[in-house]
Amino acid sequence: MSVALPVAEAVPAAVAGASRFDHVRALFVQTPASLIGYLIGWSLMLAMYWPLAPRAPMLAWSAVLAALLLLRLAHYLRFRRNPDADDATLHEWRRSWKLLVLLQASMWAVAVWLFWDLGTPYHRTALMLVIFSLGLASVQLLATQQRLYIGFVCLLMLPAIVRIATDMQQPWHWQLAGILVLQFIALLVMGRVQRSALDQVIDLKSRTEQLAAQLRVEMAAAESARRAAEAASRAKTQFFAAASHDLRQPLHAMGLFAEALRQRSHDPEVASLVNSINESVDALEGLFGELLDITRIDTGGVDVNPAPVPMRELFARLRLHFEPMAFEKGLALSFRGAQRVAHADPVLLERILRNLVSNAIRYTDDGGVLVSCRQRGDQLLMQVWDSGIGISEASLPQIFDEFYQVQSQRPLQAHQRKGLGLGLAIVARLAQLMESPISVRSRVGHGTVFSFEVPMGKAVRALDSVSPGLKSPLGLTLQGRTLLVVEDEPAVREGLVVLLKAWGASVLDFETVAALKTWLDSQPEQAPDLLIVDYRLPQATTGLDALALLRGHWPRHQLPAIVITGSTIGGHETEAAEHDFHLLIKPVLPNKLRAMIAFKLGVR
């Protein structure tokens, strides 16, 4: 005797089963892309090591790898011939597919043991990049198969780490192995985050299908379903925020250790590898911020609350954030119209200007950036001018589209190419929420100006202006300077100390505010030149507590301070102005940290 399940109970079960085997089908669908990646890696290995490696091991390794590639291709062709195979058949195919994937990972691990001691440092650096690139490419393909992904990454990376660490003939083998360890950890974290994101997407899809079935049965459940969908959207936004914060810590430490390695090595190939790591860390930081912003907007998590906005205060915050970046590139950052008052949402207005100023500085190598506010009737015309590379006439209609990046007539620098192409899309959406459409004018090679209008607000009491002066940057050494660091994350603290010492500084480092207080109780006489503190510290304390303690101990010294945080939400800019410090968001690239240190010590 069979009992029919209600629609509300039967649909989720069916959807869950379908989603599970959708994963399996996706594995086969993505096979061509992964095979092309393996072929590229194989071709690079042959190009590099064919003249160097003994023929027998090279031919044997290539033959096994070719056989595995052909078997993978055969699996894919079998799937193409039977795209509607039942779930049981797909399950059987997946077993052999997993075995082939693990065997391929093993063969790449064998390659490290066969070829590591051949050739120049260039060959070893390229081999490390090939191995890490294969691991990075596997995130998208294998993240849904968590145990398989972990097995693949372990087989790919751990033998390489062991081989490099045990190579006593290389002077920097421990450091290179350490970099691979950090990359291995990053791959595991990225796989976990990717799996969680995919699971949430599938969960949202399941909820949607369940709601559709329930709506056909009873319309009364609509309001309850709407609240559930909104809760899921908020959870998605919170997930991206949490994932961004958690990933920033190891990325921050990775950048610091990589730069410390550069300071200790004069090998140009190692320097090139460090540059690649730093560019990747900086790009990932930008991607986290853009994805978090676009997710908030798409899920309706952004409210518009107009209020009087004194432009003097807003310009002061913008100057506080962007002046060190302009200082580093030798650009003039100017503000006009600080006496005006706008009537707009202060958070959205500041976010729009931040994105536009950031873009302007990124694409300007000579001249400067001007932010202006001028009255036009009962409106204020907000404009961001730059003297950068400009945008072609053909590209202007598309620059506010998601994932669109301008194709310049001249090669772009690495710092100008990074990002997903979401910055101006975010600007356009925020401006649309404020009912203030953005316009743009540009000349290639001469610069660009972005413009939008906001209503004029009522005048408020004027505040003291922030000093705009820039001074010359410090030299490349911090010799004779004493820097005090408060950071609770051991890897980050160690990387920061090593890097600052490599730049010539004397460093005092502490893990907690309590440890700092114990040191101050011993009555040290010499005040440090600069404070670098993490915002979130143990025992319910913050970096502000550390600043107050230190400045209270040396009240006659105007101790400059930098506060570093991994949180992108919290409105720390107001605290920065109130407590006189500059704020940096993790991960902080070493060159950005150096520019900030030079700026802080140079203006004192």
- So where are the chain's domains? 7-172, 307-455, 482-602
User: How many angstroms separate the CA atoms of 209 and 201, rounded?
Assistant: 12
pLDDT given at position 311: 92
Question: What pLDDT, in 10s, does the model give residues 72-108?
Answer: 888 888 888 887 777 777 777 878 888 888 888 888 8
- Picking from 11, 517, 499, 42, the residue whose alpha carbon sits closest to that of residue 258 is 499
Which CATH fold topology does 307-455 show? Answer: Heat Shock Protein 90 (3.30.565)
pLDDT in tens, 335-368: 999 999 999 988 788 888 988 998 899 889 889 9
Strand partners of residue 455: 379
- Report how far apart, in Å, the C-alpha atoms of 365 and of each of 326, 330, 368, 369, 449 are: 10, 8, 8, 10, 16
pLDDT of residue 521 exceeding 80, the answer is yes
pLDDT at 334: 93
How would you class 449 by CB atoms within 10 Å of its CB: exposed for 0-12, middle for 13-18, buried for 19 or more? Answer: middle
Of residues 246 and 155, the one with the higher pLDDT is: 155
| CB atoms closer than 10 angstroms to residue 244 | 23
Q: Ranked by mean pLDDT, which of 191-205, 246-260, 368-382 comes out on top?
A: 368-382
Q: What is the mean pLDDT of residues 437-455?
A: 91
- The reply to whether 307-455 and 482-602 are identical in fold is no
The pLDDT of residue 438 is above 60: yes
Of the spans 46-60, 143-157, 474-488, 582-596, which averages the highest pLDDT?
A: 46-60
440, 450 Cβ separation under 8 angstroms: yes
Structure token pair of residue 457: 């607000």
Residue 510, pLDDT score: 95
pLDDT, greater one: 227 or 474: 227
Per-residue pLDDT tens digits for 208-221? 877 777 776 777 66
Q: What's residue 385's pLDDT?
A: 94
State mean pLDDT over 124-139: 84
The residue among 465, 462, 468, 467 whose CA lies nearest residue 341 is: 462
Q: What is the pLDDT of residues 372-423, one digit of tens each?
A: 999 998 999 999 999 988 888 888 877 877 655 655 555 445 444 444 456 7
Q: Rounded to an integer, what is the distance from CA 281 to the centroid of its chain?
A: 6
pLDDT tens-place string over residues 261-318: 766 666 777 767 766 676 666 656 655 555 556 566 655 556 677 889 999 988 988 8
Do 124 and 111 contact (CB within 8 A), yes or no? Answer: no
160, pLDDT greater than 90: no
pLDDT of residue 424: 83
Kindly tell me if the per-residue pLDDT of 198 is higher than 80: no
Only one residue has tokens 């920033």, namely 248
Six token digits for residue 38: 């393996």
Q: pLDDT value at position 374?
A: 93
Mean pLDDT, to the nearest integer, of 462-468?
A: 37
**Residue whose tokens read 């709601």:** 211
Evaluate if residue 461 carries a pLDDT over 50.
Answer: no
Percent of the chain with pLDDT over 70: 76
Q: Which residues of 40-60 are buried (b: 16+ CB within 10 A; e: fewer)?
A: ebbeebeebbeeebeeeebee
pLDDT tops 80 at residue 50? yes
Identify the CA nearest to 194 among candidates 239, 253, 255: 239
CA–CA gap between residue 53 and residue 59 (Å, rounded)? 10
- The whole-chain average pLDDT of the chain stands at 78
Residues 509/493, Cβ–Cβ less than 8 Å: yes
Per-residue tokens: 416? 């100008």
Exposed, middle or buried by CB within 10 Å (0-12, 13-18, 19+), for 357? buried
Would you state the CATH architecture of domain 482-602? 3-Layer(aba) Sandwich (3.40)
